[in-house]
Structures are given as C-alpha cells and as structure tokens.
Amino acid sequence: VVPGETALAFYKAKNPTDKPIIGISTYNVVPFEAGQYFNKIQCFCFEEQRLNPQEEVDMPVFFYIDPEFAEDPKMAKVDLITLSYTFFEAKEGQHLPLPGYQ
C-alpha cells in the first residue's frame, strides 16, 4: 500500500460450530508506532457480526496510510505494517468501549 492511496482488504471469518454466534472484532496495528498513520474509512470492526453455523464470510476494511508516514523519520525503517483482527463473542448486555484519546 502506498501512503496516501486507499486500499481494500478482506478478512475471512468462519463459524466452525453448530450454533450461531454474534461477535465484535477489534483491530491491532504493528508496529504500534505506525498505528497513528493507519486510517479506516469503512470497517466491520466494533459492530456486532452474526455468523450462522458453519458460515464463512469475507469482511472488508477500506483504509489508507496517512502520507505523513513517509515523512516521519521514526518510520524510515518501517517497510511492513501488519493489521490484524480479533473476534470476540458478544455477551448479552455487555458492550465494548470505543477506543479514543482522553
């Protein structure tokens, strides 16, 4: 991905059980310092997703890397950014807090 250009990636999720599952995905960017340059335009994360028994789905994320990434001397040796997701089963009545800076 070239900084400043948008990109579309798909993550595959599968429910291998015989019961429907509702969950929420959170994301992580490595190296951590590059996370400030990662910008999601549209993402499935932080929204409940229902997967039926044995269902497999592709979940899209539309994003870009801020062009300032290329100008940051701390990022000079970073040539790989890894975006990963963790799917958590949602518990009834429990909500994940949205990330933010306070």
Render pLDDT for 18-38 as a digit per residue (tens, 0 to 9). Answer: 999 998 888 899 999 999 999
Fold type of domain 5-89:
Ctag/Cox11 (Pfam 04442) (2.60.370)
- Distance CA(28)–CA(82), nearest Å, equals 8
Nearest to 93 by CA among 44, 48, 26: 48
Q: Indicate the residue type of 78.
A: V
Does 102 score more than 60 pLDDT?
no
Residues contacting residue 39 through CB under 8 Å, at least 6 positions apart: 63, 64, 65, 66
Question: Where do the domains of the chain lie?
Answer: 5-89
Render pLDDT for 39-83 as a digit per residue (tens, 0 to 9). Answer: 999 888 878 889 999 999 999 999 999 999 999 999 999 999 999
Does 93 score more than 70 pLDDT?
no
Nearest to 52 by CA among 11, 18, 29, 75: 18
